[in-house]
Amino acid sequence: MKFIDVHCHLDGGHFGDLNALLTDIRAVCVEKIIIAGVDLQTSEFCREFAKVHNMCRFTAGFHPTELKNYKEGDLEKIAEIAQDKRCVAIGEIGLDYHYPDTDKPLQRRIFTEQLILADKLGLPVQIHSRDCAEDMVSILKEYSALLKNGALMHCYSHSPEIAAELQKLGIYFSFGGTSTYSGSKKARRTIVALNFCRILSETDSPYLPPKSRAGQFPNTPASIPEIVANIADIRGATVEETAQTVWDNAHRLFKKL
């Protein structure tokens, strides 16, 4: 049995010895991880880390809450990073209206520009979406032609009804530690409602620990087996079947894996 974490963050110095971390991850049969960039600096970190660790692939992009660091011309630099053979997607991109000082027009502009960039490079996108459901659905429908290389709603948190709409656009959905809690009713209902071929596993490490690690920091990709087992339980499938389905789904979406 083999597992994959399609979205985690290894920058920031939270884990100590990263070589030891990768050994721990492999010990629980997590064979591949995708590390996500959130701005220019972290995208460069991800590229360099993936160069020397074969189990890693990476994404490059600007997260909506990191746009305070954005300068005109940075997307050209992201494009250069994303041409590395180990870059599987443009991400983590999207919208986040959680904070009161959010510059919504800027977020929408940079999000759509990165959708255009991904299409130009022939790459899928990894999408962050929080407290912005109406605008997110509107943009993805308007720019659906740019999603022909695939898209992932990372750590999906909107309703099952919205997921059903987005699934029609060919979008995939990943679920992490929050879906293991009994109170995560929307995530659990969505996991049941989606086509199995659209479901992926992630940790968003070092954040969002699963139930067995509640309150602990940092979370790590070693939590993936628990997350997959939870998805299997929700869907009434075996862990083996779920792990293989998620593995196949990830390789279908991220063709450079």
Q: How confident is the model at residue 93, as a pLDDT?
A: 98
Q: How confident is the model at residue 69, as a pLDDT?
A: 86
Q: How confident is the model at residue 55, as a pLDDT?
A: 98
Taking 3-state DSSP, the helix, strand and coil percentages for the chain, each rounded to the nearest 5, stand at: 50, 15, 35
Q: Please report how the helices 133-142 and 160-167 are oriented relative to each other, as an axis angle in degrees rounded to 10.
A: 10
- DSSP conformational letter for 163: H
Q: How confident is the model at residue 110, as a pLDDT?
A: 98
Q: How confident is the model at residue 78, as a pLDDT?
A: 98
Are residues 75 and 81 in contact, defined by beta-carbon separation less than 8 angstroms?
no
Nearest Cα to 30, choosing from 173, 201, 217, 221?
Answer: 221
Nearest Cα to 256, choosing from 62, 73, 57?
Answer: 57
Q: Which long-range contacts (CB under 8 A, 24 or more apart) does 237-242 make?
A: 237/196, 239/1, 240/1
Lookup: tokens for 123: 């790459």
**Alpha helix (H) ranges present in the chain?**
18-27, 40-52, 74-82, 104-121, 133-142, 160-167, 185-193, 224-235, 239-253
| Region for residue 248 given its phi and psi (left: phi exceeds 0; alpha: psi -120 to 50; beta: otherwise) | alpha
Full pLDDT tens readout for the chain, 257 residues:
999 999 999 999 999 999 999 999 999 999 999 999 999 999 999 999 999 999 999 999 999 999 998 999 999 999 999 999 999 999 999 999 999 999 999 999 999 999 999 999 999 999 999 999 999 999 999 999 999 999 999 999 999 999 999 999 999 999 999 999 999 999 999 999 999 999 999 999 999 999 999 999 999 999 999 999 999 999 999 999 999 999 999 999 999 99
State which amino acid sits at residue 138: S
What are phi and psi for residue 186, nearest 5 degrees? -65, -45
Coil, strand, or helix at residue 127?
Answer: strand
- Across the beta sheet with 172-175, the strand order is 3-8, 30-36, 56-60, 87-96, 125-130, 151-153, 172-175, 199-201
Work out the end-to-end distance of the chain between its first and last CA atoms, rounded to an integer number of angstroms.
17
